[in-house]
Structure 1
Amino acid sequence: MLMEHTFATYEMSDATVPEDATVEDAVLVRPLLKNTQLETRPLTVVYDANHDGWDPRAFHQGVDAKGATVILARDKGTGKVVGGYNPKGFCSFGGARPSVAAFLFYEMEGTPPTFQKLRKLKDGKLSCARDDANFGISFGLTDFVIGLQAGEERRATSHLGEYFECGPENLVSLFGKETSVELSDLKVLVGSYEDGEDIPYSGEVLDSFQFTNNGLQESIFFN
């Protein structure tokens, strides 16, 4: 079992997984998973906002304790896909789930779709900034956020450069010049595991960060 402890690679995987043919969007994201714990593992969709609901409760019911996650979001205005990879997944424990191997990605111009990865900057802190049962997705504090909050359920924001790099195009946002967009789709894919098989990071992680009145406080947890 590959456990990621280094920065994500920009290389794309050429792995072929037969099960991808029956899982929506699995073929699309497979090349992104080079050197990750999901590179050759069959994938499954555990959350589809248009089917399950655009709210944190539905999101966490689908994704919690399922291990590493691939987030796929589509900008309603441009139709372009953006997303992120969270190696530590979600569990609704309230703190951040750090990983140096986390990355964001965005769709570049051209057919068929190709993606550019954006790696973590400096260290793994705040790769998943809010693992909160009442909140959706947050890579860094501002780099890629889909809060799923009432009245702004489909709103996604992105301000790159604090915890994730801006990439070769020196982007301000995953969405190009726009820092706030409305989404038409939001899905989460995770690895498919057999009954009784260990799912990495399905519980508390070895290191985490809690929000306090004085800012961030590091905490130590165990699986």
Structure 2
Amino acid sequence: MRVNPPAPLLRNLEEDQEISFVPMDAVNENGGIRLDQTRVKAEVGGGYTEFQNGDVVIAKITPCFENGKGSIATGLVNSAAYGTTELHVLRASQALDYRFLFYLTITDSYRKLGESEMYGAGGQKRVPPEFCKDFLTPLPPLPEQTAIADFLDRETGRIDTLVAKKRRLIALLREKRTALISRTVTRGLPEATAREFGLEPHTRFKDSGIEWLGQVPEGWEVLPFTKIR
């Protein structure tokens, strides 16, 4: 495995060709890169991290490293990219499945040991490249690495799908909560609930005179907070 190697697929491109551009906020936690930015190669030049399809990129600065920011580079424009300087690039050798390598980099042990090796002060602490080079790991034979990576691709994909569904459900429930509160404090309790609390349901409404508020129950006043006594 090589750490921060040159990217021949990038260097072989013409200067007027487009490549992907990857700032830190485009790198997701525990996998994935948002590829919505491109640059012409000549416009970027040096000073950025270069990588290519099949490389594993990981954040090296705190707290991005600890939070698991990293990904396999795939789908890059012209198979190459320049990215933030706060990335380390790991390139798998022929004896190493790059997906297996990526999964190693998001294990708790890798992240915790990397955190212990950070140098610098405060919010500028970084994982040194030596940590990536010298990290000791168990290494199964290549066919088993590939089988492990296939299994993890399948199972983590299933989990990610469930998480996405749960997030959508949570978002819908939050919308429902907001709508429930808004409707109840401006139009009163639902009929059955009003009777449950010993109240007569509101059946008649009047214009509040306020565009965003619309109608309110008859018998309700519309007052500024400061006029409520």
Could you tell me the TM-score, scaled by structure 2's length?
0.24
Could you tell me the TM-score, scaled by structure 1's length?
0.24
State the structure with bigger RCO (CA 8 A, min sep 6), 1 or 2. 1
Between structures 1 and 2, the one with greater helix share: 2
Between structures 1 and 2, the one with greater strand share: 1
